[in-house]
Amino acid sequence: MDKPDPVDTIVEQWQRERPDLRTEAMGIFGRFGRLVLAVEEAINSTFVRHGLQRGEFDVLAALRRSGSPFELNPSVLADTLMLSRAGMTGRLDRLESAGLVRRIADADDRRSVRVALTERGRELIDVVVTEHIDNEERLLGVLPAADRKHLDRIVRRMLGSFDAG
């Protein structure tokens, strides 16, 4: 049996006050909520240590994984990150001011621009993504490999139910 946690207290209180309620889902989603908050804090700490916000990391990572020459159209970036055009503009402004990206004229369409990683931006994202993955591995380190695979299947199935409409 796992050690009781604060969610157990909440579930027990509801079971006492309303024994007619099925509280299994409440316990699971209560723990999901606590886990999301803890994981976000742990993951964001890596970005903050390098002067980045999560959204800025996402932009740099999308550019880096796009392959050489590490540049994309701002609309493609926004779509990739499921972000509004205005939200993308704000992120790009901050990253450009920090010298991590630059806007360049599109060689195929002089009316539009492309966003390119600077050398400094590429060096930074390579360091940060390495630390980020190490951090994620550390966070999952409490689970044996078989549990990780099982958890991945469960999460995929749940997300698939939302993606299906």
Percent of the chain with pLDDT over 90: 84
Give 51-161's CATH code, choosing from 3.40.190.10, 3.30.70.1150, 3.60.15.10, 1.10.10.10: 1.10.10.10
User: What is the rounded distance in angstroms from the CA atom of residue 135 to the CA atom of residue 100?
Assistant: 23
Q: What is the mean pLDDT of the chain?
A: 93
Q: What is the pTM of this model?
A: 0.85
Q: Where are the domains of the chain?
A: 1-49, 51-161
For the chain, helix, strand, coil in percent to 5 are 65, 5, 25
Residue 27 or 111, more confident: 27
* Residue 64: pLDDT over 90: yes
| pLDDT score, position 86 | 87
pLDDT tens readout for residues 28-47: 999 999 999 999 999 999 99
